């Protein structure tokens, strides 16, 4: 099983889908994450330099079980719906050929999250088309499952629930690797609270992540269960 998680900013993939990614990694999946925007210099915490921030990313990736982390280093608040960014995403999709893709859901009110949702949806069809050879000549098969995850804007409707009760501590540990971000807000507490809320409402207890199913093919039913390793390769 191959998974790609596209995050507007480093740590968004943990907040929205970290538990699911850990469960997939434990089941032997190959996990690739994409960080589109680099951290914002205007809120640069002077206690953490660039090398320190890269060390935070590496530590979080270790906890998640990420195999490949692609950073596009787009400048914050300069992100445009450009061909360049689309092609960078297409390149990742054609190289890693994921069966499941995680992207921000469509109703995120944060502009960069909403833009990355649109860029990702565009890149998904571009990757499987015969055009755009500059991003790799071999079109990739369409993923069986594309899931929208929540970060800044909790979803009021969702169509897939993942029980993350047995990996919640690891999800929180991955978030805690980002010490620079926790100085701004206690995201470790926030994701624990949201997971318990989602667990209580959807499962009657425990912890959960919820998703908007953006694309589904018949073989995706088994792919949704991280305990099912699916096809090798």
Token pair of 28 as six digits: 């032997």
Site size toward Zn ion, by CB under 5 A? 3
State yes or no: residue 117 binds Zn ion (CB under 5 A): no
Alpha helix segments (H runs only) across 27-176: 50-64, 83-96, 111-127, 168-176
- Segment lying near Zn ion (by CB under 5 A), choices 10-18, 55-63, 86-94, 215-223: 10-18
State yes or no: residue 9 binds Zn ion (CB under 5 A): yes
Half-sphere exposure of 67 toward its Cβ, with a 13 Å CA cutoff?
14
Looking at the Cβ atoms of 102 and 132, the one nearer to Zn ion is: 102
Token pair of 195 as six digits: 């997971």
The H or E element spanning position 173 is helix 168-176
The H or E element spanning position 143 is none
State yes or no: residue 143 binds Zn ion (CB under 5 A): no
Looking at the Cβ atoms of 12 and 212, the one nearer to Zn ion is: 12
Looking at the Cβ atoms of 121 and 203, the one nearer to Zn ion is: 121
- Segment lying near Zn ion (by CB under 5 A), choices 6-14, 53-61, 124-132, 186-194: 6-14
- Segment lying near Zn ion (by CB under 5 A), choices 12-20, 78-86, 142-150, 164-172: 12-20
- Segment lying near Zn ion (by CB under 5 A), choices 1-9, 24-32, 130-138, 218-226: 1-9
State yes or no: residue 12 binds Zn ion (CB under 5 A): yes
State yes or no: residue 39 binds Zn ion (CB under 5 A): no
Looking at the Cβ atoms of 80 and 221, the one nearer to Zn ion is: 80
- DSSP per-residue string spanning 203-231: HSSS-EEEEEEEEE-TTHHHHT-TT---S
* CB 136, min distance to Zn ion, A: 27
Looking at the Cβ atoms of 12 and 99, the one nearer to Zn ion is: 12
Looking at the Cβ atoms of 99 and 150, the one nearer to Zn ion is: 150
215/231 Cα distance (integer angstroms): 19
Token pair of 128 as six digits: 């499987």
Indicate which single residue of 8, 10, 18, 139 sits in contact with Zn ion (rule: CB under 5 A). Answer: 8
What b/e readout covers 175-185, taking b as 16+ CB neighbours within 10 angstroms? bbbbebbbeee
**Residue length of the chain:** 233
Number of C-beta neighbours around residue 173 at 10 A: 19
Burial of residue 70 (CB within 10 Å: 0-12, 13-18, 19+) is middle
* CB 131, min distance to Zn ion, A: 30
User: Which residues of this protein are in contact with Zn ion, per CB under 5 A?
Assistant: 8-9, 12
């Amino acid at each position: 099983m191959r998974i790609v998680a596209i995050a507007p900013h480093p740590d968004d993939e943990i907040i929205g889908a970290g538990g699911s990614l850990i469960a997939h990694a434990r089941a032997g999946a190959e996990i690739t994450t994409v960080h589109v925007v680099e951290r914002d210099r205007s809120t640069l915490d002077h206690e953490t330099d660039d090398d320190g921030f890269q060390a935070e990313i590496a530590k979080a990736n270790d906890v998640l079980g990420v195999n490949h982390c692609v950073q596009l280093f787009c400048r914050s608040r300069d992100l445009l719906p450009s061909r360049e960014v689309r092609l960078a995403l297409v390149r990742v999709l054609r190289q890693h050929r994921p069966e499941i893709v995680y992207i921000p859901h469509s109703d995120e009110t944060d502009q960069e999250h909403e833009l990355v949702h649109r860029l990702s949806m565009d890149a998904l069809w571009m990757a499987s088309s015969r055009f755009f050879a500059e991003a790799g000549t071999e079109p990739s098969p369409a993923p069986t499952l594309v899931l929208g995850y929540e970060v800044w804007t909790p979803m009021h409707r969702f169509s897939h629930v993942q029980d993350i009760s047995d990996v919640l501590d690891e999800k929180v540990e991955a978030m805690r690797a980002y010490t620079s971000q926790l100085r701004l807000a206690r995201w470790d507490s926030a994701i624990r609270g949201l997971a318990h809320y989602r667990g209580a409402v959807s499962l009657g207890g425990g912890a959960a992540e919820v998703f908007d199913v953006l694309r589904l093919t018949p073989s995706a039913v088994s792919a949704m269960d991280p305990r099912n390793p699916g096809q090798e390769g």
